[in-house]
Amino acid sequence: LFFLTLLVPIGLIFLCQKLVSNNTRDFLMSLAGIGLAVWVVLAIIYLHRAWEMMQMFGAHLTGSKAIRFLFLPIFNSLWCFVVVYGWAKLWNQNVRNHPGLQTASAVWSPLFFIFPIMLLISQGFLVMHFLTQEWPVDLRNQKHLISFSVWGVTLALTLICWCQIGLSINFLARKKT
């Protein structure tokens, strides 16, 4: 469900590039925007559940405290170090030390460290394009290609990290039952 909610908006955006009718294009872009908003909500729910499930291992953050500052632009990239990388460190520590988690897989924490950095860089590019009013649409333009590449890497890191978070949530949910 998590990946499907991302694939549908990306497919709609790709389809919009092929259509010439402005009304149809606007409608599909609106649907894609709604789909991306749903994807962000699901990502926040996953992160909330991940921190809530870590409470049984003595986590210093609750789920609501963890996601509270993610709604502040620019600061959310810095808060991601605490929330995303902190969760990965706590998960790996508990996988190593807790006897009930011996069969669980550790997450690859360098990706969880790189994700907030890439998110901050992505937001920097977004602010730059907003201030210059030059949105990246031309793949032959080097500046646009750099922005697309950074956003693509950030999206890939997001998918990998949230996949690992989802697997951890599922592992803990199965352990509880």
pLDDT above 60: residue 123: yes
Half-sphere exposure (Cβ direction) of 95: Cα atoms closer than 13 Å: 16
Percent of the chain scoring above 70 in pLDDT: 84
Tell me: the pLDDT tens digits for 33-62? Answer: 777 778 788 888 989 999 998 888 888 888
pTM equals: 0.79
8 A C-beta contact, residue 110 and residue 85: no
**Dihedral, 3, 37, 83, 106 alpha carbons, nearest 10:** 0
> What pLDDT score does 83 carry?
93
Average pLDDT, the chain: 82
> What pLDDT score does 2 carry?
55
